[in-house]
């Protein structure tokens, strides 16, 4: 059974204080690892897809990386508008997404 | 604008009643999904459909039913058999299933049983 564990559950940063979110996974035949951002009361917003170990993708202050066992979402010099819950999901040979419980990020002034 | 529309945003239901949640997409996606989200838990898959007139059970299908009569539409019925229906329901679509394609989500329907 595919499993995804995200840490920490919650993270509080000051504006400009860089950090990383972790997504550890076990999956039978990784077909893709996905990062989403979710604001309160809204649907998840797609950020990145990673397919193989060593792959990296960037978007503004976010950078996602992938190894054979985990993925990191690096946040560089965050701003208050980056506050949200970040979700990680994997897709394996079962052809469905398995989600982690997310990391709640709060960025303060 | 292309996207996924869920309605209504908030829904209240009395115990013992069935209720149907709407999901429409104009992205020309073949695959559609229904997830349930509860506090402190990850999104859990209820049903998914890869093509019109075909759908499969996900991890928590008991007490739910779906139909896929049109490519654009994938309504979810929460039946009275669902023991704990109060939750946030999310519909998603992707170009295909198979895992190597991202899913895009609607804005969700919050269902409360009163």
CA distance B58 to chain A (A): 9
DSSP string, A37-105: EE-TTS--EEEEEE-STT-EEEETTEEEEE-SSEEEEEE-S--GGG-EEEEEEEE-TT-SEEE---EEE
Chain A CB contacts of B44 under 8 Å are 99
pLDDT digits (tens, 9 = 90+) for A14-33: 999 999 999 999 998 888 99
pLDDT of residue B42: 86
pLDDT of residue A25: 97
- Does the pLDDT value for residue B48 go beyond 80? yes
Tell whether the torsion through CA atoms of B88, B1, B32 and A64 is positive or negative. negative
Residue B61 has pLDDT above 70, yes or no: yes
Whose structure tokens read 């928590």? B60
Residue A5 has pLDDT above 90, yes or no: yes
B71: preceding bond cis by omega (within 30 degrees)? no
CA A75 to CA A21: how far, in whole Å? 8
Q: How confident is the model at residue B97 (pLDDT cuts 50, 70, 90)?
A: low
CA–CA dist A74, A103 (Å, integer): 13
Give me the residue from B58, B104, B110 closest to A46, CB to CB.
Answer: B104
- Asked if pLDDT for residue B86 goes beyond 80, the answer is yes
Helix (H, G, I), strand (E, B) or coil at B18: coil
Over residues B68-75, mean pLDDT: 97
Q: Does residue B101 belong to the interface with chain A, where contact is any CB pair within 8 Å?
A: yes
What is the share, in percent, of chain A residues with pLDDT greater than 90?
86
Q: What is the DSSP letter of B63?
A: T
Within 8 A of B41 by CB-CB distance, chain A residues are 101
Lowest mean pLDDT, pick from A70-79, B21-30, B51-60, B97-106 = B97-106
Tokens of B102: 């991202």
pLDDT at residue B39 tops 90:
no
Whether residue B48 lies within 8 A of chain A, CB to CB, comes out as yes
């Amino acid at each position: 059974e595919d499993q995804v564990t995200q840490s920490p559950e919650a993270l509080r940063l000051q504006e400009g204080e860089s950090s990383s979110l972790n997504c550890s996974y076990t999956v039978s035949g990784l077909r893709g690892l996905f990062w989403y951002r979710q604001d309160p009361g809204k649907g998840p917003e797609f950020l990145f897809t990673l397919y193989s170990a060593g792959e990296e993708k960037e978007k503004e202050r976010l950078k996602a990386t992938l190894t054979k066992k985990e993925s990191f979402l690096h946040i560089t010099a965050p701003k208050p508008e980056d506050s949200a819950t970040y979700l990680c999901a994997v897709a394996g040979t079962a052809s469905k997404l398995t989600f982690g419980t997310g990391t709640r990020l709060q960025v303060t002034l | 604008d292309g996207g996924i529309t869920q309605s209504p945003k908030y829904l209240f239901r009395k115990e013992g009643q069935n209720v149907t949640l709407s999901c429409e997409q104009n992205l020309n996606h073949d695959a559609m999904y229904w997830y349930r989200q509860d506090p402190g838990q990850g999104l859990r898959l209820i049903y998914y459909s890869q093509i019109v007139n075909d759908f499969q059970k996900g991890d928590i299908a008991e007490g739910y039913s779906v139909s896929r009569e049109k490519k654009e539409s994938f309504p979810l019925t929460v039946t009275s058999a669902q023991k704990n229906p109060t939750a946030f329901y999310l519909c998603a679509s992707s170009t295909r299933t198979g895992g190597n394609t991202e899913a895009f989500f609607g804005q969700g329907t919050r269902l409360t049983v009163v």
